[in-house]
Amino acid sequence: KELVSKATGGETSVLSRETFRKTLSNTLERRLFYIPSFKIYGGVAGLYDYGPPGCAIKANVLAIWRQHFVLEENMLEVDCPCVTPEMVLKASGHVEKFTDLMVKDEKTGACYRADHLLKDFVKESLEKDPLMPPDKKEELKHVLAMLDEFTAEQLGAKLKKYGIKSPETKNSLSDPYPFNLMFSTSIGPTGLLQGYLRPETAQGIFVNFRDLYYYNGSKLPFAAAQIGQAFRNEIAPRQGLLRVREFTLAEIEHFVNPDDKSHPKFSTVANLEFYLYPREEQMTLKQPVKTQIGHAVAKGIVNNETLGYFIARTYLFLARLGIDKERLRFRQHLQNEMAHYAADCWDAEIECSYGWIECVGLADRSAYDLKAHTDMSKTDLVAHETFSEPKDVAQLLVVPNKKELGMFFKKSAKMVQEALEVMEEVEALKMKAELESEGMASLHLCTTGQRVTITREMVSISKEIETLHGRTFTPSVIEPSFGVGRIIYCLFEHCFYTRSSNAGDDQLNVFRFPASVAPIKCTVFPLVQNVKLEVTAKEISSALTREGVANKIDITGTSIGKRYARTDEIGVPFAITVDFDEKTVTVRERDTKAQIRVPVEEVAKVVNDVADARRTWIEVQSHYPGVMSKDSNQ
């Protein structure tokens, strides 16, 4: 009877995916989950509003995120501005490297992503001509695989080779050149202070590291978090809600001693099992398998406990929202995907009708960011560690004899002295041995390329033991970064299904959001239009509001079945219907359509308890009498 749409599964055809997506997006737009921004002015590509149900879901998702991460992990949350001065984004590398390669239609000036044009051409060619010679096919497949690796020159050469033109006009295209994806602005009235809208929230945390470290009692590890808007001026946004120009990020920067990336709470998640897709499995074209995270860390598949802990916590978070665990995987970055400084990177990918979508990035970024800001700002972003017991460390001491060097090398003495002082340990030890055995040794002066001879009198080389009580170091940072809008879109897909109406003549849409995520927890209906029923309904609605339960009252005369269908379509989990029984009312659950009768004075509390997960529906159901009315199957 219930036709759960499985259209997004890997097995189904492109056509059914398209149909599924169309039904879904039609529902989302019609019920104002989202609205193309500035719609009455024709809209702007890549900008969307959340309408009332979408906005409530977003607020709920962020509240759950705060509870799950900030509160439960005792994180330090900060809130920094979107407007960011250039210096900060120069240090982070965004001014130089946050670019996509763009081509312009030489006549109209229309802009395209060079890699998108090439990709579209290759995919179309492969589809259109299945009888293409094998070598040609191989070549095109290689282009697809290398797409993200091409330089501007290589991309340009490919576009030329295949004669790719501007898609709308067939005009010639410019050579590809890098276009910076940051929105640019000017801060203050002089026009002299260049600024950008932040492309991520992370930098605001890094620049505050020193203060946050102090706030945390100068102790590691600790995590800071931030929820806020980020901006990317995409060249040509595609894929609806998945690639937009303004979006909400929820980011965590966990600062940790690079020599100790263990996590005190790792054992609490070690037995969790979910889909991991390590680098090796991708290279050998295997499928991801369910793996215990404890096992993955023990085997070195995941680099360290802290990274593993956050992967597991992310899994729990997404499952809690209602993401289908069977369509969620953690994919490790291939070596060429990772920044050179990164120790390990995993993406939480969620499968939807657009394919596998990166929704959360989990990266061990080593000390890169803090070092970059230390260099640019000349402020040390470091931590200090006191050893539990002092450590004796052998140190090589090279002491040139200036007088002796001066007498022998005259004007070049200074140069020789410096060459001695900068010797690597191996080099110095070799010299020490030579001086001891032969009385002299050869030294290479890299500044002039000459070789000079050093005698025993000119330098003393010795090993000394130094006692260290602690050390100063740049912490490593492990960064889980959540694309909130993408997660919400995937949640829409995973929670959406259709079922036929009772009469069987209609397909009805339902969102099976968990109560914690649902935009409205409960609707209240008088069974028919009647003053007395309306009064009771209003009293129940007020009681729900007092309990903090988002609810809506619907006193239109529409049939009860239609009213149920209307609320199913925005994912309201519970509906209370008031009829002529003065003592009890009906509570109906969305997905099972099961109904129970609950006393009027208890109903607000019961619904609040179930919506807040203090009691389960099953538990409540066993407490109160069920109903098999005409409406129960609506």
In the region spanning residues 186 to 215, those forming contacts with a second copy, defined by CB under 8 A, are 186-190, 192-193, 195, 197, 204, 207-208, 210-212, 215
Question: Candidates 231-239, 272-280, 315-323, 496-504 — which segment interacts with a second copy by CB under 8 A?
Answer: 231-239
Query: Can residue 449 be called a binding residue for a second copy (CB under 8 A)?
Result: no
Residue 100: both structure tokens together: 């996509």
Interface size with a second copy, residues (CB under 8 A): 81
Contact between 386 and a second copy per CB under 8 A: no
Length of the chain: 634
Please identify, using beta-carbon distances, which residue of 134 and 188 lies nearer to a second copy.
188
Residue 531 near a second copy by CB under 8 A:
no
Q: Footprint of a second copy on residues 544-573 (CB under 8 A)?
A: 545, 548, 550, 552, 556
Among 76, 164, 352, 572, binds a second copy (CB under 8 A): 76
Q: Are strands 551-553 and 522-526 parallel, antiparallel or unpaired?
A: parallel
Q: How far is the CB of 631 from a second copy (least distance, A)?
A: 22
Q: Can you tell me which of 183, 341, 356, 408 binds a second copy, judged by CB under 8 A? A: 183
Query: What would the DSSP string read from start to end of 6-63?
Result: -TTSTTS-HHHHHHHHHHHHHHHHHTTSEEETTGGGT--TT-EEE-HHHHHHHHHHHH
Q: How far is CA 568 from CA 488, 523, 595, 616, in A?
A: 18, 10, 15, 19
Count of CB atoms situated within 10 Å of the CB of 534:
16
37 interacts with a second copy by CB under 8 A: yes
What backbone phi and psi angles, to 5 degrees, belong to 83? -70, 125
- Four-residue CA torsion sign, 491, 494, 500, 506: positive
**80 touches a second copy by CB under 8 A:** yes
CB 489 → a second copy: shortest distance, Å?
A: 14
Q: How far is CA 491 from CA 314, 318, 322, 524, in A?
A: 15, 9, 7, 26
Q: How many CB atoms lie within 10 A of CB 285?
A: 6
Binding residue (CB under 8 A) for a second copy from 2, 3, 18, 49: 49
| 291 contributes a contact to a second copy by CB under 8 A | no
For a second copy, give the closer residue by CB, 245 or 432.
Answer: 245
Q: Footprint of a second copy on residues 56-75 (CB under 8 A)? A: 56, 58-59, 63, 66-67, 71-72, 74
CB-wise, 26 or 500, nearer to a second copy? 26
Evaluate whether 586 touches 596 at the Cβ level (below 8 Å).
Answer: yes
Question: Please, what is the Cα angle at 59 between 53 and 65, to 5 degrees?
Answer: 135
User: Does the footprint of a second copy cover residue 435 (CB under 8 A)?
Assistant: no
Please tell me whether residue 78 binds a second copy under the rule CB under 8 A. yes
Residues 602-631 that bind a second copy (CB under 8 A): none
CB of 350 to a second copy, least distance (A): 22
Cα-based distances in Å from 573 to 25, 513, 610: 21, 8, 10
Residue 87 binds a second copy (CB under 8 A)? yes
